[in-house]
Each structure stands twice: as C-alpha cells, then as structure tokens.
Amino acid sequence: MTPQEASSITESLCHRAPVIPVLVVDDLDTAQPLAAALVAGGLTVLEVTLRTPVALSVIREMAQVPGGIVGAGTVLTPEDAENAKAAGAQFAVSPGATDKLLTACEDIGLPILPGAATATEAMALLERGYSSQKFFPAEASGGAAMLKSLASPLPQILFCPTGGISHDNAHEYLVLPNVACVGGSWVAPRELVQTGHWGGITDLAAAASRLR
C-alpha cells in the first residue's frame, strides 16, 4: 500500500462523520454494546487505543458489530501495526510517525493516519505521500488557531485533530477548511460505559454526529 492509497482511505473514513470516538476500553464485555451504541448514534468509525491489556480483543469484538469500522489508535511500533491488523483493525492511528512504523503499515497494507504537531512534521509526512494526518495534541499544540495558520501554506493536507477536544470546542475545528473530522473521547464517558448506560452514549454520539 502506498502512502497515497493510505491517505485516500483515511480521508474517506474521516469524512464519514464529524467525530471519531477515541476509546480506551478496560472491560472486554463492554466492547460490543459500546460499539453498537456509538454506531446507532451515527458515529461509525471507531478508534480503539492500544492502551489496555484487552485492546486487541476489544478490536476483535467491535469488528463484529454491523455498520462499524474499527481501527487501532496509539499504534507506535511495527509490532503494534501487525497485531492490530491481525485483530481486525481496518486502519491505524499514531500520535506521531517514524519511518519504521510507516514502512511497516505500507508493507502490510494497513492504512495509517500519522500524527504531526508542527509544520515541519506535517511537511515531512506530505513529502512521503501522506496528505491525511492526525494533528496531536491539538489543544496543546496551538488548537484551531494553529490549524488555521497551516491551511494557507499547506492546503494539500487534511487533518483530524485530537487531544483536548470536546463537544464545546469541536466546532472551532470543524469549520476549518483543512479539518475533515475531530477525534474525541467525550462521546463515551467512563461512567456511562461502566454503568452500561448505552442509551446515554447513543445520545452523545447523535449530538456529535450533528456537529459542523
């Protein structure tokens, strides 16, 4: 898979809904109902971060939910990428990018949304062929104002900003011409997941799906 092919796929995923849920799941039993609740609310592209011992199993479970497209987040190494694909992840997301990681994803055919936080990092990824990128950590790296500044000199790059984004400030990003969607965890609050309040999560997802 070429970087250009990967970017085409990730760009299409980013355009499916204004928000990609960023999920940290500790309890495997919640995987399928959580995914179903989010999909029911209109958020069909789900990012499961590789931050818990059950993350790969969560990806396997969520991949069985009709209508959902499940990817792996916090993919840091070639081994992470290989394990994620084997678990059924259809895409990868990384907070940054290394040559080893990008090469591994290209070799195994796993589309990756690589992270950048500066103009230099974004240009290096663009030079390699990645026109769809994650902007992380968004709020700590200048927020919507930073992305607005990058839009003029780097109009070829489409971003999915993540990090510190909530329902209250998502609109500031989504109105920018170089933002396709945002990533956020607010649509799946830990307390609602732990109590199995799936209707509440569907409501939050539905509200997020209407953002623009």
Residues in the chain: 212
Interstrand relation of 132-135 and 69-73 (parallel, antiparallel or unpaired): unpaired
| Contact assessment for residue 109 and residue 63, using Cβ atoms and an 8 Å cutoff | no
Contacts of 98 (CB under 8 A, 6+ apart): none
Strand partners, 133: 159
Rounded CA-CA distance 61/162 in Å is 24
Q: Which residue has the tokens 């709020």?
A: 139
Q: Which of 47, 61, 85, 106 is catalytic?
A: 47
Q: Is 134 a catalytic residue?
A: yes
Residues paired with 91 in a beta bridge: none
Q: Which residue is catalytic, options 106, 134, 139, 172?
A: 134
Radius of gyration from C-alpha coordinates of the chain: 16
Active-site annotation holds for 121 = no
Catalytic residues: 47, 134
